[in-house]
Amino acid sequence: MTTAHEGLREALASRTHTNAEDWFLVYRARHGMLVALRELRRRRGAGSVATQLLTCCTAVDPIIAAGLTPVYGDVAAQTLSLDAAVLPQTDDLRAVMMQHTFGYIDQASAQALRAAADAQGALLLEDSAHCVGRMAVDGAGAPIADVSFHSFGVEKMLPTYFGGAVWVSPKLGDSALRADVVAALDGLPEPDGRLARAMRGYQTQVRVLNHLPAPLAHALRSFLVGCGLLEPAIAPMEMEGAVAHDPMAMDEWACDQVLGHFLTMPEQDERRMSALASYARELSGIAGVRVPESVLSSAQPLLRLPVNLADDAKADAAIAAIGALGLYVVPWYRPLLYPGVPDARSYGFDGSLANLPNTASFTRGALALPCDLSDAQVREAVAALRTIVGAQ
């Protein structure tokens, strides 16, 4: 293990008040998910995993790739994460995926999911991709998940592009399963030479593509991806229920890149919490803009702030208006299984949201505002939003 590997594991342990020996570094967070889910299936057999549609398709891919079946529960309106009160009930539930959507952690809801998972004999898996280095905890401050996944990838909390981390609880009740997961994570190979070169060239490639005319950029991007010269954030196969590459560990270069940024997390957290407070002030009283109040008042360092307008057309207009200011706004999670998949049936979704009213409500007119902004930038973004909704 290199100095960078050790340093990053120690930094993660320090931030979460856990032990470095329980942290494992992977090429991407979805690789860690796939490893844990494969070992779960190998130990307990095929079955289902409760998760949510209000997510990225890459958060569901590992479930399918591991030979398990995703079953979708509704989210709570105030958390945008699985609602324990309406968690799917199946005879073969193997795990519950607790996602902290946009980085918001609701401790009471998390503890309810812990109880619901225990009641069905399932593992509680934690998707902390949006809040790297933060986890749901119990009343004593100890992490409540059995396994927790964190991402250093594109459009996450750090300005990094690759890498993920997995925490495996030393208190996981199934000791044999824990040993299997730990051994599998410990034995992962690092990326080969071709992939390592693609990782190192990613930032430069994206910069060049972003400065080309759209048709040319699209054609060149497709060519580079097809040749294996560009490693995309989401590979084509990852919109069809698969995971690109066999699971791998982080290499020294990626660890070194992540560690440098990870050590600045306290400053980044402060900036994001300041931006959230600014949004709370600026959005107050604007009709036609919905934001979960619990999220807006949480004082947590969010990745993005979830917002809903009256319809998709207004949301798209707002994205364009705010984007014209040079601010990066995204339509997460519109469509569901973002950025949308060619055949939702391959994800076990028939298109009906009749039993998922909160999911249906949120995805309509959804956009996500950046939280790494200054107070002045927040004011500019909200002013542009006002023009779209017609607020005075």
CATH of the domain at 129: 3.40.640.10
Domain of 35?
Answer: 3-186
Cβ neighbours, 10 Å, residue 103: 23
pTM reported for the whole predicted model? 0.96
**Token code pair at residue 241:** 């229920």
Q: Is 155 in the same domain as 278? A: no
Based on the structure, what is the number of domains in the chain?
2
Which residue, 134, 169, 186, sits at the end of a domain?
Answer: 186
Q: Is 179 in the same domain as 271? A: no
- Is 242 inside any structural domain? no
Most distant CA atoms of the chain, gap in Å: 62
**Token code pair at residue 331:** 């339509």
In whole angstroms, how far apart are CA 138 and each of 61, 106, 108, 142, 175?
Answer: 29, 11, 9, 5, 21
**Are the C-beta atoms of 362 and 74 separated by less than 8 Å?**
no
Per-residue confidence (pLDDT) for residue 201, from 0 to 100: 85
- Is 130 inside any structural domain? yes
Which residue, 161, 186, 211, sits at the end of a domain?
Answer: 186
pLDDT confidence tier of residue 222, bands split at 50, 70 and 90: confident
pLDDT confidence tier of residue 1, bands split at 50, 70 and 90: low
Q: Is 290 in the same domain as 142? A: no
172-220 pLDDT, tens per residue?
999 999 999 999 999 999 999 888 888 888 888 878 878 888 888 788 8
Q: Is 181 in the same domain as 89? A: yes
Best CA proximity match to 129, nearest among 87, 94, 107, 97: 97
Which residue, 186, 208, 225, sits at the end of a domain?
Answer: 186
85-125 pLDDT, tens per residue?
999 989 999 999 999 999 999 999 999 999 999 999 999 99
Q: Is 147 in the same domain as 288? A: no
